[in-house]
Amino acid sequence: MSKSEPKTESPTANTVVAKTRFERIRSDHAKELAEDYLEMIDDLTSENGEARAVDIANQLGVSHVTVTKTVARLKRDGLVTSQPYRSIFLTPKGKRIADNARKRHQTVLQFLLALGVPADSAEIDAEGIEHHISPATLRAMRKFTDENS
């Protein structure tokens, strides 16, 4: 190697772990947004028979433009159906994802409540944790709550 060539080192184990962790976090954040929308669409459809972009925007505290862009992405991914200026509905795949997110939320919520976390804090915390939890941790939480309820 000449003096002008930069020295390259192979990635260390710590670098690989950090990269993997950050990739997972970025992926989780993208899934979190989709799951929140799918759950909201499911809730609105259950309550009102339909989910309109304006209702989603009001419930999530975002702009109509943000909802429109996100719904377009969900449509592209086969999770919702909609027509311009019409209601938004979940596809069977979208409904499965919403149901799974809701189940994860309930498991995390029950676990936090079992630990003695106040209900209002547990609800808020569960909303964030549900999207970032591994299947192994979720199973452990479920086992704990089953054994302690």
Q: Consecutive sets of 10 residues in the chain, 149 residues long: mean pLDDT of each?
A: 55 64 64 91 95 95 94 95 90 96 95 96 93 92 92
Q: What is the residue range of 140's domain?
A: 16-147
Q: Quick check: is 53 in a domain?
A: yes
Q: Quick check: is 122 in a domain?
A: yes
Confidence (pTM): 0.77
Q: Quick check: is 93 in a domain?
A: yes
Residue-level pLDDT at 3 = 56
Spatial distance between the Cα atoms of 127 and 60, rounded to a whole number of angstroms: 13
Q: Quick check: is 133 in a domain?
A: yes
Residue-level pLDDT at 25 = 64
Token readout for 28 is 């989780």
Number of domains the chain is built from: 1
CATH number of residue 46's parent domain: 1.10.10.10
Radius of gyration in angstroms for the set of CA atoms belonging to the chain, rounded to a whole number: 20
